[in-house]
């Protein structure tokens, strides 16, 4: 005969049985097993007692007067709601039909007469285990729901902070069209665009590994670097190096950011491209036709150590009306129900077939819908048109200091020699310095453009000895820049001297810039005499420099450029 | 024909379970059974008869009255599935069987009260 075991938890058991002797017997058996017993004579009493005392387990006689066991079971189950109250039917009903009725009414098990205490104990124990399991499940479900809401809320807050950091930049420029999902941040998708001080545009389309908060968290420091350095006039290479180093340092080992960066100069009609792991971008010809892919040639950001990082960019010429089309990997990776990929071929066909630029996004999305059978809301698309620079108006820079502390009478000379020229871009520092001349701030854009042009001329045509005529057409363009990199790597001698002189004048002041290189020089008058259109891609942008400054001349057989800016005193 | 009226093993198990409540159990059963019998005789329709037979079957099997339980099972079966002919005969058999076991339970009751 079973004894009360030490590890049995005392439960409250409801026994509903209309036979008095049977009821007494059962109650005694259950009590001896260590449980607390409630008894009822019929179904109605059973339901009332259940509602009042909420026992853990219910033993129900199938056939009772007033309300039978089946109805009582249904009502008790309804009262129990989500919680599991095991119901064991007491029955000598052996017919299959009758047993089915028991189960349908909500019964969880049967106990046959004559009652076996051993079997009863086993059933109660098993039922109680189920009961506790259900209770645990419900509790955990509620806990999960609470955590889920908590996380959602945190994400909302994170997104609000991020939106401040990674503001839209210049995505609202008239020549830019873009599409980005509201969930982009938490898919790891990033779209940034900003004007450089010279009026060029830096654009970044990125894709962080992972989803949710981990993906979003890397985006913030990246955006800070991008916007900060772009605003200071740093080039793509330096910005890339800084972004890569930062991500490598702060992200865990298995996280990184695929990125495609563009440096668009509408003044010089060139675009510099760096693609690390993103799907091909495309250069779309002005009047339809085969798109030219901007292929990934680098590892994504945050993988390589700074010493191994490759910041080499590709430079392509641009023509008016051409467009740059960038997209995230959601497009090419879309698969249909047979696990076939949408793929690059289908995309290229859509691009080539497009006749109206304004409809390109719709055409791409429609092609995706049709292929997959469902729409996607998590792809990012970007379309930038090459326009005349006058159409774009970068917002004026807001300075935090007034005009009192402006240095007005000084000069400065730098000499950059071969080793430095290889790896250092002095422009951001020089420009930062010139920013201090408050009177010149209104011409900041022109100043940046001119200095950039002078420096690149001095380096490429002067020190590296590259023939500017090589930039005449698109094909030789690529080889020009390849040669530029090769020669720069191999550089062992040469210099560029930069001399800055600021002098006060009667009503304001003037800045004289001299840039001198160790190159062979060039035939100044010949180049200046060429018609403007010919100077387009090749030439040395001499007319641009002349246009933007007050005076510009080349002396010393073209080896030294002297450019002057002037300003009136601020009121 | 030797019938087993009461399974003695069941009785001793019951006494072990019930301990001090054994006497009360015996008395409750005897009182309960009188009610069951009158339900059997007083049944106005098939349902009531089947129900009474079913309940009596249950309680008597719990108490070890094997033959009685078997008779009740037969009655229940006959009511539900037929044939209904000669069913009064079965009820009479139940009466007689109960009379026999009642005596035995009274003896048991006396044995326990004295002991």
CA distance B59 to A22: 6
Is A4 inside any structural domain?
no
**pLDDT (tens digit, 9 = 90+) per residue, A408-453?**
788 999 999 999 998 888 988 888 888 888 888 888 888 988 999 9
Mark whether A207 and A252 lie in a shared domain. yes
Residue ending a domain, among A120, A137, A154, is: A137
Mark whether A132 and A49 lie in a shared domain. yes
- pLDDT of A152 higher than 70: yes
Size of interface A-B (CB pairs under 8 A): 53
pLDDT above 70 as % of chain B: 97
pLDDT at A256: 94
B59 contacts in A (CB within 8 Å)?
Answer: 19, 21-22
Mark whether A505 and A546 lie in a shared domain. yes
Task: List the beta strands (DSSP E) in A319-424.
Answer: 323-327, 381-385, 410-417
Is A267 inside any structural domain?
yes
Kindly tell me the sign of the dihedral angle through the C-alpha atoms of A140, A143, A149, A152: negative
Cis peptide, bond prior to residue B2, ω within 30 of zero: no
- Candidates B18, B58, B64; nearest CB to A19: B58
Is A434 inside any structural domain?
yes
pLDDT at A396: 66
A22 touches chain B (CB under 8 A): yes
Is A344 inside any structural domain?
yes
Question: Using H for helix, E for strand and C for coil, what is the string for A190-226?
Answer: EEEEEECCCCCEEEEEEEECCCHHHHHHHHHHHHHHH
> Distance between terminal CA atoms of chain A?
109
**pLDDT (tens digit, 9 = 90+) per residue, A187-215?**
788 899 999 988 899 999 999 987 777 77
Structure tokens at B61: 């099997």
Average pLDDT, rounded, for chain A: 86
- pLDDT of A145 higher than 60: yes
Is A1 inside any structural domain?
no
- Candidates B13, B17, B31; nearest CB to A28: B17
Q: How many domains does chain A have?
A: 3
Per-residue confidence band for A177, with pLDDT thresholds at 50, 70 and 90: very high
Is A402 inside any structural domain?
no
**pLDDT (tens digit, 9 = 90+) per residue, A470-508?**
777 777 777 888 899 899 989 999 999 999 999 988 878
Among A93-102, A322-331, A510-519, B29-38, the minimum mean pLDDT is found in A93-102
Residue-range definition of the domain harbouring residue A379: 166-391
A32 contacts in B (CB within 8 Å)?
Answer: 17
Mark whether A379 and A415 lie in a shared domain. no
Mark whether A417 and A351 lie in a shared domain. no
Find how far residue A543's CA is from the centre of its chain. 41
Mark whether A221 and A302 lie in a shared domain. yes
- Candidates A1, A18, A29; nearest CB to B55: A18
CA distance A33 to A52: 23
CA distance A506 to A52: 100
CATH code assigned at A370: 3.60.40.10
| Contact by Cβ (8 Å): B37, B30 | no
Per-residue confidence band for A55, with pLDDT thresholds at 50, 70 and 90: very high
Per-residue confidence band for A571, with pLDDT thresholds at 50, 70 and 90: very low
Q: Which long-range contacts (CB under 8 A, 24 or more apart) does A466-473 make?
A: A468/A538, A468/A539, A468/A540, A469/A538, A470/A538, A471/A317, A471/A537, A471/A538, A472/A537, A472/A538, A473/A317, A473/A537
- pLDDT (average), residues A275-302: 92
pLDDT at A561: 94
| CA count, 13 A, side-chain hemisphere, B9 | 5
Among A19-23, A153-157, A315-319, A505-509, the minimum mean pLDDT is found in A505-509
Total number of residues shown for chain A:
571
pLDDT at B2: 42
Between the alpha carbon of residue B33 and those of residues A129, B40, B76, the distances in Å are 37, 10, 16
pLDDT at A63: 80
Mark whether A373 and A513 lie in a shared domain. no
A92 touches chain B (CB under 8 A): yes
CATH code assigned at A415: 3.30.565.10
Mark whether A432 and A387 lie in a shared domain. no
Mutate: best of B59, B65, B75, B80, partner A, most A CBs <10 A: B59
- pLDDT of A362 higher than 50: yes
- Candidates A1, A18, A21; nearest CB to B63: A21
B13 contacts in A (CB within 8 Å)?
Answer: 1
Mark whether A375 and A414 lie in a shared domain. no
Q: What is the dihedral of CA A498, A502, A503, A507, to 10 degrees?
A: 130
Is A357 inside any structural domain?
yes
CA distance A443 to A437: 11
Distance from CA of A9 to the nearest CA of B (A): 20
Mark whether A416 and A533 lie in a shared domain. yes
Residue ending a domain, among A359, A391, A423, is: A391
Q: Do A22 and B59 touch (CB under 8 A)?
A: yes
Mark whether A372 and A418 lie in a shared domain. no
Per-residue confidence band for B60, with pLDDT thresholds at 50, 70 and 90: very high
**pLDDT (tens digit, 9 = 90+) per residue, A56-112?**
999 998 887 777 888 899 999 999 999 999 999 987 766 677 778 888 888 899 888
Nearest residue of chain A to residue B12 (CA atoms):
A1
Q: Do B51 and A22 touch (CB under 8 A)?
A: no
Residue ending a domain, among A137, A157, A192, is: A137
Among A2-16, A32-46, A454-468, A487-501, the minimum mean pLDDT is found in A2-16
Per-residue confidence band for A535, with pLDDT thresholds at 50, 70 and 90: very low
The domains located in chain B, with CATH, are 8-114 (1.20.120.160)
A24 contacts in B (CB within 8 Å)?
Answer: 21, 24-25, 28
Residue closest to A562 by CA, chosen among A463, A454, A467:
A454
Mark whether A194 and A300 lie in a shared domain. yes
Is A399 inside any structural domain?
no
**pLDDT (tens digit, 9 = 90+) per residue, A453-472?**
999 999 998 999 988 777 77
Mutate: best of A15, A21, A66, A94, partner B, most B CBs <10 A: A21
CATH code assigned at A76: 3.40.50.2300
Chain B residues with CB under 8 Å of a chain A CB are 10, 13-14, 16-18, 21, 24-25, 28-29, 31-32, 51, 54-55, 57-59, 61-64
């Amino acid at each position: 005969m079973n004894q009360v075991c030490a590890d049995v938890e005392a439960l409250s058991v409801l026994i509903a049985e209309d036979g008095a002797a049977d009821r007494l017997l059962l109650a005694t058996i259950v009590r001896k097993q260590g449980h607390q017993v409630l008894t009822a004579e019929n179904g109605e009493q059973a339901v009332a007692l259940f509602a009042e005392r909420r026992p853990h387990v219910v033993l129900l006689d199938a056939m009772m007067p007033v309300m039978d066991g089946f109805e009582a079971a249904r009502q008790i189950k309804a009262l129990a709601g989500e919680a599991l109250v095991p119901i064991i039917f007491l029955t000598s009903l052996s017919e299959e039909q009758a047993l089915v009725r028991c189960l349908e009414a909500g019964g969880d098990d049967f106990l046959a007469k004559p009652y076996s205490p051993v079997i009863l104990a086993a059933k109660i124990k098993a039922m109680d285990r189920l009961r506790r399991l259900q209770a645990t499940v419900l509790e955990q479900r509620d806990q999960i729901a609470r955590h889920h809401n908590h996380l959602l809320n945190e994400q909302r807050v994170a997104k609000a902070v991020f939106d401040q950091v990674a503001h839209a930049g210049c995505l609202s420029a008239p020549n830019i069209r873009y599409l980005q999902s509201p969930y982009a941040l938490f898919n790891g998708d990033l779209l940034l665009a900003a004007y450089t001080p010279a009026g060029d545009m830096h654009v970044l389309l990125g894709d962080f590994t992972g989803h949710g908060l981990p993906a979003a968290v890397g985006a913030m420091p990246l955006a800070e670097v991008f916007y900060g350095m772009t605003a200071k006039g740093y080039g793509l290479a330096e910005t890339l190096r800084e972004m890569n180093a930062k991500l490598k340092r702060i992200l865990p080992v298995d996280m990184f950011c695929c990125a495609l960066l563009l440096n668009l100069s509408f003044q010089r009609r060139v675009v510099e491209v760096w693609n690390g792991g993103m799907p091909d971008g495309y250069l779309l010809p002005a009047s339809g036709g085969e798109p030219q892919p901007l292929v990934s040639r680098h590892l994504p950001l945050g993988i390589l150590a700074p010493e191994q990082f490759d910041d080499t960019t590709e430079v392509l010429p641009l023509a008016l009306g051409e467009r740059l089309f960038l997209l995230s990997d959601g497009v090419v990776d879309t698969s249909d129900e047979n696990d076939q990929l949408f793929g690059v071929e289908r995309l290229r066909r859509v691009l080539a077939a497009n006749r109206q630029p304004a409809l390109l996004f719709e055409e791409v999305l429609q092609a995706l819908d049709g292929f997959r059978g469902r729409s996607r809301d998590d792809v990012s698309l970007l379309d930038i048109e090459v326009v005349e620079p006058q159409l774009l108006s970068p917002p004026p820079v807001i300075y935090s200091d007034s005009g009192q502390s402006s240095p007005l009478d000084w000069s400065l000379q730098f000499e950059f020699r071969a080793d430095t020229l290889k790896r250092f871009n002095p422009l951001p520092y020089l420009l930062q310095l010139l920013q201090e001349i408050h009177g010149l701030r209104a011409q900041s854009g022109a100043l940046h453009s001119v200095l950039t042009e002078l420096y690149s001329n001095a380096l490429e045509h002067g020190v590296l000895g590259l023939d500017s005529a090589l930039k005449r057409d698109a094909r030789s363009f690529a080889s020009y820049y390849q040669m530029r990199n090769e020669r720069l790597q191999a550089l062992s001698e040469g210099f560029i001297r930069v001399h800055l002189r600021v002098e006060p004048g009667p009503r304001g002041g003037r800045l004289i810039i001299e840039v001198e290189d160790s190159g062979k020089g060039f035939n100044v008058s010949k180049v200046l005499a060429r018609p403007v259109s010919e100077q387009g891609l090749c030439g040395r942008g001499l007319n641009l420099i002349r246009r933007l400054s007050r005076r510009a001349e080349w002396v010393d057989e073209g080896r030294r450029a002297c450019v002057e800016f002037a300003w009136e005193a601020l009121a | 024909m030797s019938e087993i009226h009461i399974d003695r093993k069941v009785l001793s198990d019951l006494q072990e379970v019930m301990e001090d409540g054994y006497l009360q159990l015996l008395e409750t059963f005897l009182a309960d059974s009188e009610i069951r019998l009158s339900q059997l005789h007083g049944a106005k329709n098939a349902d009531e008869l089947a129900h009474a037979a079913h309940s009596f079957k249950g309680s008597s099997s719990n108490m070890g009255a094997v033959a009685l339980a078997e008779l009740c099972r037969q009655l229940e079966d006959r009511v539900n599935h037929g044939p209904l002919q000669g069913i009064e005969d079965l009820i009479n058999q139940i009466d007689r069987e109960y009379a026999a076991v009642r005596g035995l339970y009274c003896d048991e009751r006396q044995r326990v009260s004295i002991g």
